[in-house]
Structure 1
Amino acid sequence: MRAIIYLAALSIILSLSGCITLDAGPADRPSSADDSLNDRDWALVWADEFDGNTLDRTKWAPEVSCWGGGNQERQCYVDRLENVRVEDGYLRLKAVPGEHSGPSVHMEHPDYPGETVRQPYTSGKVRTRDLASWTYGRIEGRIKLPTGQGAWPAFWMMPQSSVYGGWPLSGEIDIMEAVNLGARCDDCVGTSQENRSSGAIHFGQRSPNNRYVDKRRPLAAQAGQAGIPRDQFHIYAVEWGEGRIDWFVDGERFYSVSSDQWFTDTVSKSDDPNAPFNQDFYVMLNFAVGGAWPEGANEGGIDASTFPAEMVVDYVRVYQCRQDPDTGRACMAADI
């Protein structure tokens, strides 16, 4: 929860960027899992602490669609309080069983809303698209994840303008994804239950020749929980600079990718070695139900007893490098 003292230059940075200065918050809210942020000169430029009891629609826009995310997901994303609400200082995205009808294509599709389709669940997804986006920085969120076979929460980024073309030519940055937490896991280390989150990027050629790289990381469990990260928050973050992206959980860097590991089919590496991850990206939070990945993993399918369930978000914060805003590299941790 929010730091009491901000960097002296923060108000200048916020005014230049058009962002809104934050009010003071509860003293017990952790400033970050990474105590070196100030030492490394990361400056807070945007945040939502989810104080109050309404979603700040100057920062977030809920998605309304039933298209399944291109992954055969089973939810309709809806804009209603049962699924998207701010309460007691948290954003709550709730997946609820019950059939619902809605748009068959995503909101940026030229034919939106398209035909009407039905899905067996409703859930919540919010985005900063057209409201706030950034090139390079540290993006972090403190989140409590839902458990159960078929649960698929995510904290991720997509390009604001897709300057290199449609997905995945303009890239995708997955800060955190987790599927089927608590379900049976035959390849988890030290536990028989799924306990991993992951970080990834997507890029390359158009589907089905798209590419991605990723890494999964076990989440620490509280005593007596047998490896299930139930009822606890973790801080998920990326530090993204020119030619490099690092992933963190609770302040520990567990993955790093450099520009020699990504490309886009529309620009040669010699012309622009950092494409497509050198443009403005916006932030999203969502709670998907089912889909090809979770339904094909662990125990398989969807366990109906998992739902209703919630993804709970304490805050989202965006930092940019004060001494090196053009590339962000000066504020990033040393190379792995």
Structure 2
Amino acid sequence: MRKLRAGKHLGCVAVLMTSCTATPSSAPDISASTEAAPSWTTVWFEDFNGDTLDRSRWTPEESCWGGGNNERQCYTDRPANIEVSDGILKLKARKEEFTAAVNHPNNKTEALVTQQYTSGKISTHKSAAWKYGKFSARMKLPAGQGTWPAFWMMPVDAKYGPWPLSGELDIMEAVNLGTPCPDCPTGVEVRTSGAAHFGDREPDNTYLFSKTSGLEPGSPAEEWRVYALEWGEGRLQWMVDGKVFMRLIADDWYTAAPQAEGRDFAPFDQPFYIMLNLAVGGNLAEKSNSGGFDPASFPAELQVDWVKVETCDGDEATGLACLDDQEWTGTPMGPWEVQAR
């Protein structure tokens, strides 16, 4: 297993090319040609206009398997759990008994299971995936012990094998917003987090993550914020409202997949698709903050104003020329440093 360490990657540089000619009898006649610097260009945008989900872009998940984290919901393809109205996607978690197929992604059996909550989850798995770019969404998050909204990405082809050999990128996760938090600067949970999952098959899987400072004014449950991941060749960085709160480079991650031999950036060198969901309870939420599960947190709602994908026009091959090079001096955390998750 490679030693994990945090680091920084060189930033992007704009190149200015100027040619000059001069005559001895007059002021210099300067002609300049400027090569445009690479920049982010929107290639996919969803603003959730209309009154129905665009099924050419998004596929709802229908499952009751608990997401691998002992979550309490069944995901359904119903307006009760997935609503588009007033230009907003609303993924709604509700307390209601529901029986449906387990529908585990690796085991599509017809076995039924009954859960006490329902919720919504959608993805671009069947329609779109990208390698490198900037992935962002403007969202307002739910509050309450047991709420767990997420904006994340998974590999469309799992080239290096089953989870986490092919990686996972969590752009935004939040648990238990608004609840008492002894470790938080204000004493109340207002932090969100980002993470990268990688390594070997369970139980030898690992991850790196970081949380926002918790010093920002207001709460993600009370105001709209933009959550983003900038991803280039060998570099990942997580942002909230344009401020970087975690950065990783290729030396920080690895995959044990033998087919990754000689691939310096694996597993984060393949196309990934987008997911949005609102989980009910589960390991992370129920082991964090005050612990446990509060039924009074539901119904709850994850609201999404828009989702945007940008690629680096002028550096499509690596995306590095467009990455924000603002200073970040933090250190990502791993599973050996926390009890939850």
Q: Supply the AA of the counterpart residue of 2:278.
A: F
CA–CA distance in 2 between the matches of 1:105 and 1:289? 17
Aligned counterpart for 2:239 among listed residues 248, 251, 269: 248
Aligned to 1:260, the other structure's residue is in SS state helix
**How far is 1:115 from its partner?**
1.0
Matches within 5 A, 1:1-336: 41-106=39-104, 108-109=105-106, 111-189=107-185, 191-218=186-213, 220-222=216-218, 228-267=219-258, 271-334=262-325, 336=327
Contact 2:62 2:74 in 1 (8 A): yes
1:238-262 alpha-carbon deviations (Å, 9 max, x no partner): 0000000010000111110000010
CA–CA distance in 1 between the matches of 2:124 and 2:146? 26
Q: Tell which deviates more after alignment, 321-330 or 228-237.
A: 228-237
**Percent of paired sites with the same residue:** 50
CA–CA distance in 1 between the matches of 2:78 and 2:163? 28
**How far is 1:269 from its partner?**
7.2
Q: Supply the AA of the counterpart residue of 2:212.
A: R
Contact 2:260 2:267 in 1 (8 A): no
Q: Supply the AA of the counterpart residue of 2:86.
A: D
Aligned to 1:156, the other structure's residue is in SS state strand
Aligned to 1:175, the other structure's residue is in SS state strand
Report the count of equivalent residues: 291
CA–CA distance in 1 between the matches of 2:37 and 2:210? 27
CA–CA distance in 1 between the matches of 2:306 and 2:38? 21
Contact 2:166 2:198 in 1 (8 A): yes
**How far is 1:40 from its partner?**
5.5
CA–CA distance in 2 between the matches of 1:335 and 1:92? 33
Contact 1:267 1:275 in 2 (8 A): no
Contact 2:137 2:306 in 1 (8 A): yes
CA–CA distance in 1 between the matches of 2:239 and 2:67? 25
Q: Supply the AA of the counterpart residue of 1:161.
A: D
Contact 2:96 2:117 in 1 (8 A): yes
CA–CA distance in 2 between the matches of 1:324 and 1:213? 27
Aligned to 1:330, the other structure's residue is in SS state helix
CA–CA distance in 2 between the matches of 1:245 and 1:60? 25
Task: Provide structure 2 residue ranges, at least 5 long, that are not aligned to the other structure.
Answer: 1-35, 328-341
**How far is 1:103 from its partner?**
1.9
Aligned to 1:305, the other structure's residue is in SS state helix
**When the two structures are superposed, what TM-score results if normalisation uses the length of structure 2?**
0.83
Task: Provide structure 1 residue ranges, at least 5 long, that are not aligned to the other structure.
Answer: 1-37, 223-227
Contact 2:37 2:314 in 1 (8 A): no
* CA root-mean-square deviation: 1.5
Q: Which has more radius of gyration?
A: 2
Aligned to 2:266, the other structure's residue is in SS state coil
**How far is 1:229 from its partner?**
3.2
Q: Supply the AA of the counterpart residue of 2:41.
A: A
**When the two structures are superposed, what TM-score results if normalisation uses the length of structure 1?**
0.84
1:126-174 alpha-carbon deviations (Å, 9 max, x no partner): 0000200000000000000000000000000000000000000000000
